[in-house]
Amino acid sequence: MSKLFSASTMGFYDTEFSLSIPTDAFEISDELHEQLVSGPSHGLQLSLNAKNKPCLIKVEQDSNALATMERRWRDTQLSLNEWLVTRHRDDREMNVPSVLTDEQFAELLVYRRALRDWPESEFFPKVSHRPAEPVWLESQLVLNP
């Protein structure tokens, strides 16, 4: 089993699984393959060097585009848990047990405030500095879609 790379398709191929392999594909080491495949998660983009061999280059991204993408992420997060806020308030108003404890509801409100304030943060739009959701929130969203 060999890993191959094709400059014409900018794609990777495996001799064991690939049904159609371009004629310009050539073998690359497993280590190089792993490095090239993991590049995007480190802010690097697959490219070709002067010898038409695969390499990684640093991607300079437009700060406005990054900010727009991060605002979309933030808006999605707010939308995903809005129903939980509404349900908790409705349950309290009707004097029925809520799916959230009062402590969880307070944590959720703090998280939602942090999301709304995120674009004004000095670290915005760095993904590594996004507001952290409460640890219980994901399981609550899965249990109560």
Q: Is 137 found in the same domain as 69?
A: yes
Q: What is the pLDDT of residues 21-69, one digit of tens each?
A: 889 999 999 999 999 988 877 778 899 999 989 999 987 777 888 899 8
Do residues 111 and 137 lie in contact, with contact meaning Cβ atoms separated by under 8 Å?
A: yes
Q: Is 68 found in the same domain as 124?
A: yes
Q: Among candidates 62, 45, 48, which has minimal Cα distance to 5? A: 48
Q: Is 111 found in the same domain as 41?
A: no
pTM over 0.85: no
The conformational region for residue 43 under phi > 0 = left, psi -120 to 50 = alpha, else beta, is left
Q: Is 83 found in the same domain as 54?
A: no
Q: Determine the Cα angle at 22 with ends 48 and 53, to 5°.
A: 20
Domain membership of residue 29 as a residue range: 3-58
Q: Is 68 found in the same domain as 46?
A: no
